[in-house]
Amino acid sequence: MKMEKNIMPIIDKIKDPNDVRLLSLPQLRQLSEEIRKYLIETISITGGHLASNLGVVELTLALYYVFEPPKDKFIWDVGHQAYVHKILTGRKEQLNLIRSLGGISGFPSIEESKYDVFNTGHASTSISAGLGLARARDLKNEDYKIISIIGDGALTGGMAFEALNDLGVSKTKMIIVLNDNNMSISPNIGGINNYLSKIRVSKKYAALKFKTQKIINQLPIIGKPLIDVLEKVRNNLKFALVSGKMFEQFGLKYIGPIDGHSLEDLIDFLSHVKNLDEPVLLHVVTQKGKGLPCAEKNPTEYHGVNSANNNGNGHSFSKTLGQTLSLLADENQSIVAITAAMADGTGLEVFKDKHNDRFFDVAICESHAVTMAAGLAISGLKPYVAIYSTFLQRSFDQILHDVCLMKLPVTFCIDRAGVVGADGVTHQGIYDLSYLSLMPDITIISPKDIQEFKMMLKWSLDYNKPLAIRYPKDSVLEFDVHTPIEYGKWEIINSCQSNIYIIATGGRMLKLGIETSKIFKNHKINIINARFIKPLDYVFLDNLADNSYIITMEDNVLHGGLGMSIANYLLKRNKKFKIKHIAMPEKVTIIGEIEEVFKKLGLTPQKLSKEISDFIQ
């Protein structure tokens, strides 16, 4: 009886990109199947960006087959689709801990691998970064390829077009791979998407043209002249059938669209553009969620999946926003809602379904979203702009110049404020208090729980100046105390005869403050909900007795945050006080669940009670 040999899967033989280049086309196809299977099995447990990675398996394999990293440089726009890239660069086993404590990042990270040449996490940056690398290469007389991989969603961002404009004029040699799957997180919208839709349907044209050209070129004597004649015919035919002229108007050579799941076509075309001495855009059409029927059918739902042990805890601020704003809009016809390609993530799908004529998804264009909101506000409407904290910082100038300086009643609903956990350093929402607090005439508030968030949204209807409401994704606790919202007034959660005060903003920090105070047996502590961050509760601070001990707690960096604002005010009032700040470090690089990140940062009741005890001695 013959013993069956255990055949090692190809995926287990891939230790670095050189191993990919040794494979045959049938082996590459098998590897693509193995990678998809591994992604589905692994990400279903760890959580992470699933659908986008399933869509780029063949594309990533072809890139590694044709090019030679780390000499050649890949820049992955946004970067959430770089899991396959990580598998092919020796990090397959580490994928079991992706986005987890002690594990690897869900995005490219220069601290993690020599194959990650540029940190990404925000959209529309890869062409600019690639152009910088290409110019540095040329100035240093070096020889390697620069390949920026950008999605059609990221292409809607204005920064991408600024880079295309510069690249087309300079004619710097680099390659742009447009990964076109008709999706951002949600389905793409807008003129760019409509334009790409028209040329997507012609992907067979590019492959046919390329293969025909190869055959004719092999004909003796007449091959090259015939190609020249056909090129003129081809240009007219291309304009009529495909029209990638927009990119050619920028000064780029446009090739495509081609099938992003055909390894043969991808390898042929990438081998061709590799040797072109000009900037080129290769248009590749892929399917988000490829290989997993449920993800193919609903790529938005499978864009990001929770880990097996995290089904989403707490009540969602995001869902509350959509539901509450939709109800308020039933009665108030001036309410409009705006988001930047994040209708589902910000909870506005409910509003969109019910009030579609007053809902605006502007694609990945945060700056445009803010200034458009200013135009709506100055015309008498009541705009609510829902954007994640980490992405809102991209519209700093527009918030200052187009909203605050004109005192326009735009309400910013700042989702994912504070520490975000698994998404890591590029997505932390720990800076918004700092950059918003310096702006004139803006009010900043933060709810402690869902009930208070609803109260704030209702209160905002009659507030006619710039307003920012910051909140995390989920509420960690529903509190018993809910006093009416009064402008510039804090809420007393626990009052006692003591000169020790914990002044905390946001539900997470307020909960942490309460739990910390319960550890003290010999000291009573006043607990204050600083729901107004700007302005502060000046009446409360003026009434503080001299020699009070103040502990400020915030889910934001120290500089420019709540704690420093309180300290500066008390100093101006010549108050005698002692103050301790509990805030986030300037850079939070820890990856993991939020509770794990807090523990690593020393933000636990046990640790803080010891620090506070030392402080008040």
The span from the CA of 187 to the CA of 300, in Å, is 8
Distances (CA, A) of 415 to 14, 194, 469: 40, 29, 9
Are 578 and 607 in contact, with CB atoms under 8 Å apart?
no
Identified catalytic residue from 349, 366, 491, 593 = 366
The span from the CA of 223 to the CA of 215, in Å, is 9
Are 501 and 551 in contact, with CB atoms under 8 Å apart?
yes
Q: Read off φ and ψ for residue 65, nearest 5 degrees.
A: -75, -35
Separation of first and last alpha carbons in the chain: 81
Q: Would residue 394 show up in a list of annotated catalytic residues for this protein?
A: yes
Identified catalytic residue from 92, 99, 358, 394 = 394
Among candidate residues 606, 560, 554, 546, the one with its CA nearest the CA of residue 580: 554
Q: Which residues pair with 577 in a beta bridge?
A: 548
Identified catalytic residue from 203, 288, 352, 508 = 288
SS3 471: coil
The span from the CA of 527 to the CA of 181, in Å, is 50
- Residue at 51: amino acid letter: A
Q: How many Cα atoms are found within 13 Å in the side-chain-facing hemisphere of 380?
A: 2
DSSP characters over 117-129? -S---STT-HHHH
With residue 247 as reference, give the H or E element that holds it.
helix 245-249
Q: Read off φ and ψ for residue 540, nearest 5 degrees.
A: -60, -45
DSSP 547: T
Residue 179 makes CB contacts below 8 A (sequence gap 6+) with 55, 56, 59, 81, 149, 150, 151, 152, 260, 284, 286
Q: Would residue 21 show up in a list of annotated catalytic residues for this protein?
A: no
Are 386 and 413 in contact, with CB atoms under 8 Å apart?
yes
Q: Which residues pair with 76 in a beta bridge?
A: 149
Among candidate residues 501, 514, 510, the one with its CA nearest the CA of residue 543: 501
SS3 219: coil
DSSP 483: P
Among candidate residues 418, 588, 570, 568, the one with its CA nearest the CA of residue 504: 418
Residue 170 makes CB contacts below 8 A (sequence gap 6+) with 131, 135
Sheet of strand 382-388: strand arrangement: 359-361, 335-339, 382-388, 411-415, 467-470, 443-445, 532-534
The span from the CA of 422 to the CA of 57, in Å, is 23
Q: Would residue 29 show up in a list of annotated catalytic residues for this protein?
A: no
Angle CA(33)–CA(37)–CA(41) in degrees, nearest 5?
Answer: 170
Positions annotated as catalytic residues are 288, 366, 394
